[in-house]
Amino acid sequence: AALYENELDVGKAIQDSGVPRQDIFLATKLHPDKEGYDSTLRAVRSQLKLLHTDYVDLYLIHAPNSKIVETWDALLAAQRAGLARSVGVSNFGVKHLEALKKHRRPMPAVNQVEMHPLVYKSRAKLVQFCKDNGVLVQAYGALWGP
């Protein structure tokens, strides 16, 4: 993810591994400071260069922003151009997903959210919304807790 400033190292590690690119599932995320159509497309291309690849398997919006629809449209364009095989979101709540639905946009393939025993019940509505709309829920922080 761009926020973690590790894409150059990840790209080099993939190159040095000797593992064929098609045998690696590579995902990354849009930096939270990037939003809007043009900024997002520039970021995608820049990140692909850092990763030393011409596509990623999954590209996520790291967090909701003030230009959700325009940013999402850019990811859909990146997918159509072959820069991302699948596109999704991270840290989106129901209201953010509803904004995409209201504007008649395709739903994300994935919504990556914090999910562990301490927050599971509070995420029930979100999980159900995702299930009802064909969005896979991917957990991060699954082992957190006391």
Known catalytic residues are: 4
Residues 6+ apart with CB under 8 A from 142: 115, 116
- The sheet with strand 27-30 has its strands ordered as 27-30, 56-61, 84-90, 110-114, 136-140
